[in-house]
Every structure is written in C-alpha cells, then in structure tokens.
Amino acid sequence: MDNTRTILFCLLASVSLLSGCAEYRAYRHLDRAVALEANGDRETALAIFQTAVDICPEDAVLRRWLGRAYLRRSQYDAARVEFETALGLAPDYMRLYRDLAIVNEALERPEVAIAWLEKAVSQVPAHRESYRDLVSLYLSHDRLSEAQTLLETVVEQWPKTLWAHFQLGGLYMVLKWPERAEEAYVQVLNIEPKNDDESAIHARTHGELGNVYYERKNYERAEEFYKKALMLNPLDDSSLNNLAWIYAIQGIHLREGIRLSQRSLRLRPHTPSYLDTLAELYYQMGNTERAIFFIRQAIALNPDNPEVRAHLHRQLAKFISGGRGKV
C-alpha cells in the first residue's frame, strides 16, 4: 500500500513538473514573440505566438495574446476564434469580452458586439469598465434609450463614478434636456479625480457646462466656464473657439476673440466651425473682406453636416450683403 502511494505521488509530481516546464517554455516563446513583433518581424512573431499556444492550449492568456496578434493584422475571424476559445477556458476573463466586441465591430456585426458586452455586464456585474464599454457602443449606434438606462443604473449603484456622470451630461444635451445635463456635470465637479483620466474629464466638464449655459443664452455663465476650462487646459481648442464665438455674437472683446480663434485653428486647422468663428469676428469688426475670405475657406472644406453647410452659406450671403456686394 505504501509503495502504491509512493508511486502515485511520484507520478503526480512528475506531471506537475512537466506541466510547469511546458508553461515555462510557452511563456518564453511568448516573450520572444513580443520582442520580435516590437522589432518589426511580424511574420515570425505570429508563428511563435502560435507555438506558445500549441505548447499550452488550455492557457487563456496565451490564446488572448494570439488573438490580439491576429487582430493587429486585421485577421478578424482568426482573432474571434482565439478569443472565444479563451473565454471558454476562463469565463471571468473580462478583457476578452471587450476584445470580442472590438473584433465583431471590425466585422461590421454591431449587434453581436453589443451582445458580448451585455454578457460581460451580466457575467460580472461589479466590473464597471464593462458598463463603460457598453455605453460607448450603445451611443455609437444611436441606442440612446439603452445608454441612458445603463448610465443611470451606474450612477445609482456607484454615485462617485465620474465618467458616468460626464457621459450622462452629454447624453442629456443630445436629448435636449439642459437642466438634467447641468445637474450631471455639476455632479462631476463634486467628485475628486483619482487619476489622470478623471482629471482630464474634470477639466472638460467646465467646457461642457459652458455649452449648457450657451444653449440657455446665459452668455455670462458660459464665458465663466469656458475660461475655467482654459485655465485647466490651455490647449482645449473647443473652449477656445466657443469663447471666441460668444464674443463674436455679442460684439464684445473682438480682438481677444480673434486671438482665441486663431489659437483654436493652430490646434485644429481646417475646422469649418472654427473658421466660421474667425469669419464672424472679422465681420463684427467691419472687415468684410477677411470675413468672406475665411467663410469661403470653411465652405470649401465641405463639412458632412447639411445644417452646417447651410449655415456657412447663410454666413457668406450675410457678409457679402454687409460688405455692399464685395466679393
């Protein structure tokens, strides 16, 4: 009996040792594949990623690395197979749900992508990043009602989730609910940022509140928040342009407005709405020749939005009329 136990123990120890050796070899291959890919030898790297998986086919992490390698090469079906196999091995490996959403989006199967993220939320309800990914996907496919419900669920369960309040504010603005948007953005400012990402959102919120007050024609408050946004981030081209625009439509601080507008265009050249702002400022200063010059630049960029195109043509007609027909 003792001999049998000894033999079993030795067998188990041998299996464990062999398994450990196989895992060690597989991850050595993984390290080599990563290094080769970093040095540009993508073909050899892919073969070695595959070898690592062949050594340890039940390792979900290795299969994800192989799947990500296929994804980087736009081999979407091969990537999908690896991600699904890895998820079968490790159902709580949350990054795989996001990977499957990305690959199905690339395969132009948005409903499948959304279904994977919905499954992630169901599988591990405490994983907040899955909610964030799902909200982004809902919004990108105009499923606004589902995005709203999910965001409101997040802020109810985790009231200090800064990104959710921020996205809820943006959604309320799209839905033409500025009062709710203001409440959501104020909640963002009441939460202390914990990292660089949250600090960036915190800074952007000031600009978004400026937009809320602009829509409500409260230009004094809008100016206040655009200036706060620029104090926090002087490279915020949107707030530069928006502050310049409220100066233009009120006919005040026009030289400062031109300076702000020019800064926004240095940061984002060839932006039709920014050129429109600069043109309006010159028009307000009585320089119709410069106004016409810049509005024609904006029109030549042929923006996708038909409402924007119509606005720009109305601006050109106004400038020409204001300049007594000069072109």
Tens digit of each residue's pLDDT (9 = 90 or more) over 271-310: 999 999 999 999 999 999 999 999 999 999 999 999 999 9
- Percent of the chain exceeding pLDDT 70 equals 92
State yes or no: pLDDT of 324 exceeds 60: no
State yes or no: pLDDT of 3 exceeds 90: no
Where do the domains of the chain lie, and which CATH numbers do they carry?
Answer: 25-142 (1.25.40.10), 258-327 (1.25.40.10)
User: Taking Cα atoms as reference points, which of 315, 327, 255 lies closest to residue 279?
Assistant: 315
Q: Report yes or no: 106 and 90 within 8 Å, Cβ to Cβ.
A: no
At 182-240, the pLDDT tens digits run 999 999 999 999 999 999 999 999 999 999 999 999 999 999 999 999 999 999 999 99
- Name, of 18-22, 121-125, 143-147, the range with top average pLDDT: 143-147
At 33-60, the pLDDT tens digits run 999 999 999 999 999 999 999 999 999 9
Query: What local confidence, expressed as pLDDT, does residue 308 receive?
Result: 94
d(CA 102, CA 186): 32
d(CA 147, CA 153): 10
pTM for the whole thing?
Answer: 0.81
Distances (CA, A) of 205 to 190, 197, 229, 261: 11, 12, 8, 20
